[in-house]
Structure 1
Amino acid sequence: MFKHILVICVGNICRSPSAEFLFRQKLKHCDIQIHSAGLKAMVGHPMDDNAMRMLEARGIDAATHRARQLEPGMLREADLVLAMEREHLSAASRLAPEASGKLFLLDKWRDASDIPDPYRRSPQVFEHVHAMIERGVDSWLNYL
């Protein structure tokens, strides 16, 4: 059983925190810690307004989120690391090679597609990406 899940993307203000908070909502009755971080995090920044609105529409308050920089220790401590893109998997593997066996795409159980970065894009792009993230999160629930 996974006790600590880490979700990663680049800035840690759109995709990975969206997945983090969706997982938290869907796993609120489980003893699983879920966190997120970014490969080039906008450290200390809150979630992007569009990403936050997508969560608010589902009754999720993510106002407490602040972006964190991914560090090797985070990868080592996590039982499962989920990334938005293949490039993120490669970067995380270079950062902590010993964590390679627990690195997977968020979309692994669906199309194994990269989930594109919606940052500075239209609200419609955010809606599309959020739907992809939600499907990815839902697809992992059977394995947690």
Structure 2
Amino acid sequence: MFRNILVVCVGNICRSPTAEILLRNALASSTIAVTSAGLGARVGESMEPAARQVLEEHGHSAQAFTARQITPDIVNESDLVLVMEKEHVNQVLKIASHARGKVFLLGKWQSDREIQDPYRQGKAAFIHAHALIEAAVCSWAQRLGH
């Protein structure tokens, strides 16, 4: 049983907050808590404006979001850690080596698809990343029974 899911990217201002909000919404009928953090977080910042705009265009709000840095304690408190790129798995395991076995790609169910960082690449990149994140979130939600 998963109680706490952590979503990780680099800055915690684009991909992971998008996934956090979409997954929390998909699991709204459950007791599973979803949070996010960054490997090199822009601590205290709100979502990147283009990422927030795409999220809002899909009917979700990110007004209360603030970025935070991943720590060993955050990983310890998580039952499942979802990352955007294969290299992120290694970086999470450097922070918390005992997490092996609970760190997976968000795109695991899409043939281990990586979701590239849209930061500073224009709105089209954010739209593409959002679509990939949404598909991955739907697959995880189905497998988590929701």
**TM-score normalised per structure 1:** 0.98
Write the distance in 2 (CA, Å) between the matches of 1:30 and 1:55: 22
The equivalent of 1:35 in structure 2 is 35
1:129 aligns with 2:126: no
Any idea what SS the aligned residue of 2:69 has?
coil
The CA deviation string for residues 69-102 of structure 1, in whole angstroms up to 9 with x for no partner, is 0001111110000000011100001110011110
1:67 aligns with 2:34: no
Shift of 1:111: 2.1
Write the distance in 2 (CA, Å) between the matches of 1:12 and 1:123: 18
Cα root mean square deviation, aligned: 0.7
Give, as a single letter, the amino acid of the residue that structure 2 aligns with 1:129.
Answer: A
1:7 aligns with 2:30: no
Any idea what SS the aligned residue of 1:101 has?
coil
Give, as a single letter, the amino acid of the residue that structure 2 aligns with 1:26.
Answer: A
1:51 aligns with 2:43: no
Shift of 1:141: 1.1
Shift of 1:54: 1.4
Which segments of 5 or more consecutive residues in structure 2 lack a partner in the other structure? none
Write the distance in 2 (CA, Å) between the matches of 1:16 and 1:73: 18
After the TM superposition, which segments of 4 or more aligned residues of structure 1 sit over 3 Å from their partners? none
Percent of residue pairs identical? 49
The CA deviation string for residues 18-72 of structure 1, in whole angstroms up to 9 with x for no partner, is 0000011111111010000000000000000111111111211111100000001
Any idea what SS the aligned residue of 1:124 has?
helix
Give, as a single letter, the amino acid of the residue that structure 2 aligns with 1:134.
Answer: E
The equivalent of 1:24 in structure 2 is 24
**TM-score normalised per structure 2:** 0.96
Write the distance in 2 (CA, Å) between the matches of 1:55 and 1:114: 20
Write the distance in 2 (CA, Å) between the matches of 1:51 and 1:30: 26
